[in-house]
Amino acid sequence: MASLTAPVFKGDDVSIKYDAKGRGHVSPRVPGLAETLGKEVFGVKVTEKAGMYQISFGFNPAMAQRLQRVDGVEFNEEAKAYDVPVGMKDFVARAVSDMRRIYLGDQEAEHDLTKLAEQKMDGAKVVKPLRSGQNSHGYTGPAVGENDIFVLQHTGKEYFTLHRKADLDRAPKIGENARIQYQDGRGKVQDKAQSRSLAHSH
């Protein structure tokens, strides 16, 4: 039990995967497609209508990429969801199961860095960046933590910003005082010390 990432109790339906350090990563069992139709489960909702599966989920590039590997998938602008013919049921079931695992992995990665922020500062507030043009000044501060999916930046007072690495042109190094500015959903990372010395050299 001591080496598990979460407590497990009798009757819990979970999967446990051990990493190289012998730590057991506990995640809930991902249910099948049929038993979850019409319900949002682990970030993904699948409904069936007019010979189509309609699949909706919050912004997540890795989940979108996994779904786009299914033949015949199309984004339905009106429904803000992806349509796939029901004939592709087996492929959809596998994709949705993978997407739910990605979602759970993201949740765990986010939780780990939120805990890190709280260890660094009482009352820490962890926020997601605005990825469109609403924050033209960008996010400035040192990178204080990272994992495979996110990098955590201390952006002032009690605020920490959680950036998705896949959205950045590069991940700032831990301790690097970076300015991260988003345009059209992509984050450009500048080393503040470097940009200052560049400004002085002109």
> Are the C-beta atoms of 94 and 73 separated by less than 8 Å?
no
Rounded to whole angstroms, how far apart are CA atoms 189 and 140?
A: 10
Share of the chain above pLDDT 90, in %: 70
Domains of the chain: 1-30 (no CATH), 32-115 (3.30.1360), 121-201 (2.40.50)
> Which pLDDT score is estimated for 25?
61
> Which pLDDT score is estimated for 198?
38
Least confident span in 26-30, 72-76, 94-98, 112-116: 26-30
Residue 200 pLDDT grade (very low, low, confident, very high; cuts 50, 70, 90) = very low
> Which pLDDT score is estimated for 17?
63
How high is the mean pLDDT of the chain? 86
Rounded to whole angstroms, how far apart are CA atoms 18 and 35?
A: 28
Angle at 115 between CA 167 and CA 145, to 5 degrees: 45
> Are the C-beta atoms of 5 and 14 separated by less than 8 Å?
no
124-159 confidence digits (pLDDT tens): 999 999 877 555 568 999 999 999 999 999 999 999
Share of the chain above pLDDT 70, in %: 80
Give mean pLDDT, residues 160-180.
96
Give mean pLDDT, residues 108-113.
96
